[in-house]
Amino acid sequence: MKELTLPHFLLAENPTEDENRFIYIYSPVYLSFVLIISEDSQTVLLNDEMRRKPRKTFTYEDESFEFVILQNNVEMTGGQLAPKISEEEFLNQAWKFWEDYLIWEDSKTDESETSQFN
């Protein structure tokens, strides 16, 4: 029997949106929600409230991604289901999860075909 463990991160998206839908990362252990903005393919104007939220930009190959913590419970939940960490470390961990996903997806996609997963 396989032990069921709570994942640190989950990919989330609304499948009923059009092809330019947003992708999110949810952390059930920190009860926090991150918006992923692909700066190369999406133009997003953040309002004042959104610009004040913790965010960080990362690069994978020739693509840039901005991560914005939309629902932020990192400091409040740290130490309960996961270690206490800073918002910046949380974003770094979310990025590592996303980067691993991108590497995995690239390994499953033939260069002559479009992605089977997005």
Q: Answer whether residue 51 is part of any domain.
A: yes
Q: Residue 117: is its pLDDT beyond 80?
A: no
Domain count, the chain: 1
- The enclosing H or E element of 69 equals strand 63-71
Q: Answer whether residue 109 is part of any domain.
A: no
User: Residue 24 forms beta bridges with which residues?
Assistant: 12, 35
Confidence of residue 46 (pLDDT cuts 50, 70, 90): confident
CA angle 107, 112, 114 (to 5 degrees): 70
Structural domain containing residue 92 = 10-103
Pick from 30, 23, 37, 24: which is nearest to 8 by CA? 30
pTM of the entire structure? 0.83
Q: Answer whether residue 1 is part of any domain.
A: no
Q: Answer whether residue 45 is part of any domain.
A: yes
Cα–Cα distance, 64 to 42 (Å, whole number): 11
pLDDT (0 to 100) of residue 52: 87
Q: Answer whether residue 59 is part of any domain.
A: yes
User: Residue 23 forms beta bridges with which residues?
Assistant: 13, 36
pLDDT tens digits, 54-82: 999 999 999 999 999 999 999 898 778 78
